Structure 1
């Protein structure tokens, strides 16, 4: 995996009741691996450690942080993330506080995994599976206040 950390700045135009407002939202995607450790009390704990590279079969945890750097609330924030081509999404692993999660198998149609279909070699359609997911979308409920942030995440395995 060439670049595991990327930063994007997104200007989201948000429509208010009468006038449009502008909220600046910064997105940062980071890749982690889980590491078992022992805490000060001698208990086994799992922590996330930044990932520099991955081996085939290794699970990667992608954490996308969104931060409202503007001076207006960010209403209707949507975070889209492509699953890297060399990765396979781990079913049921997408999560995000106050977020509605949708998936895509073609990069344009989003919905619950159970509602998605994938064409077969003979032209028929079959139910989509986690391995078919190519993109994820989190729609954040409510407004993200200026200066605040949140995270969404998912797991994928290097093919």
Structure 2
């Protein structure tokens, strides 16, 4: 059952993504809605969020463009995950994630969380605090692309 309270959209705004100085970034967030037409065919729509409730699926899009005159070498784009959102994945461009506020990074399956008793447990998607993409090849001058990650409103 969905929670009736609406979250302020400011809680869902993606944090400022950080990248090299010559790389321009634009962050957007969309609500993913599934509709069914008269013939029963389902369609997935991405809508501008007006109001969101617990359980809404979100898509965060990070558009980048190398606005410099030189290739952007060793480009890293880091985006904090809004606290009101549980990470659910990132599509084809598998990012590194952090579960400790951006101090340590790795694939989610390799990260652990320290428990109060000192033991460790495997990290879960709900533990993700930041998402990071580290480009393995230079991004040519003028080149652009999009990265995305998904989440669910807590």
Q: TM-score range by the shorter chain?
A: 0.7 to 0.9
Following TM superposition, by how much is the alpha carbon of 1:136 offset from its aligned partner in structure 2, in angstroms?
0.9
Greater strand share, 1 or 2? 1
Task: Select the residue among 146, 150, 154 that pairs with 1:155.
Answer: 150
Root mean square deviation of aligned Cα: 2.5
- Aligned pair in 2 of structure 1 residues 70, 52: CA closer, same or farther (>3 Å)? farther
**1:104 maps to what in 2?**
98
**1:94 maps to what in 2?**
90
Task: Select the residue among 131, 137, 149 that pairs with 1:136.
Answer: 131
Flag structure 1 segments of 5+ consecutive residues without an equivalent: 13-23
Q: Does 1:118 align with 2:116?
A: no
Output the TM-score relative to the length of structure 1: 0.77
**Distance in 1 between residues matched to 2:116 and 2:18, nearest whole Å:** 40
The answer to whether the 8 Å contact 1:6/1:30 transfers is no
The answer to whether the 8 Å contact 1:95/1:101 transfers is no
1:126-157 Cα offsets, whole Å, 9 max, x none, are 11111111111111231212222111111111
Output the TM-score relative to the length of structure 2: 0.79
Following TM superposition, by how much is the alpha carbon of 1:95 offset from its aligned partner in structure 2, in angstroms?
3.2
**Distance in 1 between residues matched to 2:15 and 2:49, nearest whole Å:** 13
SS in 1 for 2:109: helix
Out of 46-55 and 127-136, give the one that drifted further: 46-55
